[in-house]
Amino acid sequence: MLEEHLGYLADAVRLRRYRAATARAVRLGARIADLGCGSGVLGLLCLRAGAAHAVFVDETDMIEVAREAVARAGLLERASFIRGRSQHIELPRKVDMVVCDHVGNFGLDYGLVELLQDARRRFLRPRGTLLPARLRLRVAAVTSGKCHALAEAWTARRVPPEFQWLRETARNTKHAVGLKPAELSSRAATLCTIDLRREQPAFFSWNAELRIARDGPVHGLGGWFECELAERVWMTNSPLARRPIHRAQVFLPLGAAVRAKAGERIEVNIMARPADSLLAWTVEFAATGQRIRHSTFHGMPLSRNNLAAADPARIPALGREGRARLRVLARCDGKRSAREIEQAVLRERPALFPTAAETRRFVARVLGRNAQE
Ligand SMILES: C[S@@+](CC[C@H](N)C(=O)[O-])C[C@H]1O[C@@H](n2cnc3c(N)ncnc32)[C@H](O)[C@@H]1O
């Protein structure tokens, strides 16, 4: 977990963009919320830009790293900290600005829309500021043996034959890759521009037209974002940018490579349902009419089970783990100690798990996740 955050902190271009954006957007004396604060670096930038108070929110232990960093910066008296999922918590007061970096690799793939829509409705004062404010998604055709190999990796000779059917899964997967400009075989096209300050639908469908720049195989689509953090302050992971942030782009495979000629037109449709992490891409080659469609729905081996679980007519019954969790939580009454709960569970259900050590670990995990701090 820390390694991921070191990556965000060591990205000098990203920090410069956020510093410029907070300098522009933070009003003196403002109250801000840093949602998904991680190390707390964005909230710290806001405090240094003149915010009077920052609420830091993160659903992981990173909230403690943020607390320590703010303390070391000598700003603790202007900060408060909430551990929890942003969509599950309440803020004590509304804020003038919400800041986050939930832009992922392709704009909508890290929960940006859901996080900001909820924050705009529940946390933000009228006429408050969202940072980021707007998002533009860009796509281009990709010709890259390296990307193609990622999607076809399951058919490599070293993979045992009974696993090679997983190639279909990899072909329906959005891969994070570092694209080089030379791997783009068309000019980039804009797929959409989304104003994050406005109400957004749960489902998106975008079209774009690409022109192939040179004869050769097309292996898939490349995608990246351009994000307007604050007025005229943009941040991008574009492989074509002079100063991109340090973040991978995405590769959406076509499966088998398709040979195309320079000047040939290809029609692209991309559909997204961000709340379910679903992305579908259809590519049609105008010259031949060949049409290829993939979806991350087929890239998730368990998606059919998940779908069954979401059927409202299904009558669910607790499994073994669920019953065990219920047993632990039922004893968590604000009076018993963790040891007493553990002893009670072991006494009443000595065979809850194959070993007492595993039962103890399970009880500790359930209490750690569900008990109040
Ligand atoms: C991409 S990192 C960004 C961290 C930090 N804001 C930065 O810019 O360096 C996202 C962070 O948000 C947290 N997170 C993701 N979704 C969240 C949610 N819905 N509510 C609270 N925290 C969330 C993750 O634990 C992670 O620390």
What is the rounded CA–CA span in Å between residue 113 and residue 80? 24
Q: Which phi and psi (to 5°) does residue 326 adopt?
A: -60, -45
Q: Give one DSSP letter per residue of 57-122, joined into a string.
A: EESSTHHHHHHHHHHHTT-GGGEEEEES-GGG---SS-EEEEE----TTTSSTTSHHHHHHHHHHH
- Other CB atoms within 10 Å distance of the CB of residue 10: 10
- Please identify which residue in the block is written with the tokens 């804009």: 190
**Is residue 367 within a helix (H) or strand (E), and if so which, with residue range?**
helix 356-370
Side chain identity at 193, as an amino acid letter? T
The alpha carbon of residue 22 and the mean position of all alpha carbons in its chain are separated, in whole angstroms, by 22
Please compute Rg for the chain using Cα positions.
24
CATH fit for domain 2-101, picks 2.60.40.1930, 3.40.640.10, 3.40.50.150, 3.60.20.10:
3.40.50.150
Q: Which atom of ligand 1 is nearest to the CA of 99?
A: 6
Side chain identity at 300, as an amino acid letter? M
What is the rounded CA–CA span in Å between residue 58 and residue 35? 7
Residue nearest to atom 2 of ligand 1 (CA): 38
The per-residue pLDDT string of the chain (373 residues; one tens digit each, 9 = 90 and over) reads 899 999 999 999 999 999 999 999 999 999 999 999 999 999 999 999 999 999 999 999 999 999 999 999 999 999 999 999 999 999 999 999 999 999 999 999 999 999 999 999 999 999 999 999 999 999 999 999 999 999 999 998 899 999 998 999 999 999 999 999 999 999 999 999 999 999 999 999 999 999 999 999 999 999 999 999 999 999 999 999 999 999 999 999 998 899 999 999 999 999 999 988 899 999 999 999 999 999 998 887 665 566 666 678 888 888 888 888 999 999 998 899 999 999 998 898 888 888 888 989 999 999 988 877 6
Distance 326 CA to ligand 1 centre (A): 29
Q: Give 58's contacts (C-beta < 8 A, 6+ positions apart).
A: 36, 37, 38, 66, 83
CB of 57 closer than 6 angstroms to any ligand 1 atom:
yes
What is the rounded CA–CA span in Å between residue 46 and residue 229? 13
Quick check: do 2-101 and 135-308 share a fold?
A: no
The three-state secondary structure class of 286 is coil
Domain boundaries 135-308, CATH class: mainly beta
Q: Where are the alpha helices (DSSP H) in 123-196?
A: 145-151, 167-171
Distance 42 CA to ligand 1 centre (A): 11
Ligand 1 pocket mutation pick from 3, 11, 59 by most atoms within 8 angstroms of CB: 59
Across 314-349, b (16+ Cβ under 10 Å) vs e yields eeeeeeeeeebbebbeebbeeeeeeeebbebbeeee
Distance 23 CA to ligand 1 centre (A): 22
- What pLDDT score does 306 carry? 65
Domain residue extents for the chain = 2-101, 135-308, 320-370
Q: pLDDT per residue over 53-82, tens digit each? A: 999 999 999 999 999 999 999 999 999 999
CB of 101 closer than 6 angstroms to any ligand 1 atom:
yes
| Residues facing 35 on adjacent strands | 57
Q: pLDDT per residue over 113-129, tens digit each? A: 999 999 999 999 999 99
CB of 39 closer than 6 angstroms to any ligand 1 atom:
yes
Side chain identity at 80, as an amino acid letter? S
Ligand 1 pocket mutation pick from 45, 102, 103 by most atoms within 8 angstroms of CB: 102
Mean pLDDT estimate for the chain: 94
